[in-house]
Amino acid sequence: MLRLLGLTGLYLCGWYMFWRFTDRRPAGNILAFHDINDKLDLSITRNSVKGFSEIMEYLAATGFRGTSLADQATETDIALTFDDGWSGIYESAFPILRKHGFTATVFVISDYVGKTSTWDYKRESHMTWSQIRELANNGIEIGSHGANHIDIRNLDNKSLEYEVSGSKETIENKLGKPVNCFSYPFGRYDNRAIEAVKKAGYEKAYALSTDGGAYAIARRGVYLYDTPYSINRKLMKQSGLEQCKDYINNSLAGGTITLRKLFPKKAGGKA
């Protein structure tokens, strides 16, 4: 047991030191959520409905305004973003946002709209085009999270173009609105991915724990364990601990990438 605890401690210390010397994250007020639901799930990349509601209550009570990325204009504007386009965003998060007069940006996976995921270990439903249109018609900005939620760094040119440019075209055709922002799947990007995003005509692109300029803007991840207290630390105190936790959580996404390489899934999900 002591050996296990020691190894765990060394592992966490190693990650902390790696983060400490490589972190390039600025102090931007952008929060990154994923799913909002109360289902039994081992994943921490989600928030319970109550937990999400409490965080929104905190923002409203302390004078912050939840906005989309496009509408963020002042220091008290907190851009609320959601990756993956899960159905819980429409079913649970949207009513809470409307209650407070907040908006947000939702990054959807174009080939998984209205389908059950196969890109992750869990099998959850994504929003339908009808639900996404309703969000868009009520002030929610819609961005692209790729076509199939795959690590785009090592794709061939044709596949990279489809994931970046093809997803943008699909969403724009379905909604009749421009898509101006892109969120890198798993928060992973490289220079080639950035150039593909620029070429596709996006105005900005977003990562997670590390910042790479206007086409890889960092966001502060919000996870199952987060509370109004930790949100306060993320936004107000520039907590090194919170940034380190985000860095580690985003690094763990590498496990899904590895599993996808070992056990390839058919693109597009299940209807």
Check whether 195 has a pLDDT greater than 90.
yes
pTM for the structure as a whole: 0.83
Give the mean model confidence (pLDDT) for residues 209-223: 89
Q: Which amino acid is at 84?
A: D
Who has greater pLDDT, 67 or 120?
67
Quote the mean pLDDT of the chain: 85
Distances (CA, A) of 55 to 26, 59, 62, 223, 224: 22, 6, 11, 11, 12
Predicted pLDDT at 18: 45
User: What tokens appear for 182 in the block?
Assistant: 């892109």
Q: What is the CATH number of the domain that holds 111?
A: 3.20.20.370
Give the mean model confidence (pLDDT) for residues 10-29: 49
Predicted pLDDT at 37: 95
Check whether 175 has a pLDDT greater than 60.
yes
Check whether 82 has a pLDDT greater than 70.
yes
Cβ-contact 48, 227 below 8 angstroms: no
| Position 267 in a domain | no
**212: three-class secondary structure by DSSP:** coil
Q: Which of 223, 224, 253, 220 shows the shortest CA–CA distance to 239?
A: 220
Cβ-contact 99, 51 below 8 angstroms: no
Check whether 96 has a pLDDT greater than 50.
yes
| Position 47 in a domain | yes
Predicted pLDDT at 266: 54
Angle at which helices 129-136 and 167-175 cross, to 10°: 70
| Position 187 in a domain | yes
Distances (CA, A) of 3 to 7, 8, 12, 16, 19: 6, 9, 14, 20, 24
| Position 271 in a domain | no
Residues 77 and 55: their CA atoms lie apart, in Å, by 15
Predicted pLDDT at 19: 42
Tens of pLDDT, residues 133-163:
999 999 999 999 999 999 999 999 999 999 9
How many structural domains is the chain composed of?
A: 1
| Position 269 in a domain | no
| Position 270 in a domain | no
| Position 131 in a domain | yes
| Position 268 in a domain | no
Give the mean model confidence (pLDDT) for residues 221-232: 92
Residues 194 and 222: their CA atoms lie apart, in Å, by 24
Predicted pLDDT at 43: 80
Who has greater pLDDT, 232 or 122?
232
Write out the residue range of the structural domain in which residue 107 sits. Answer: 2-262
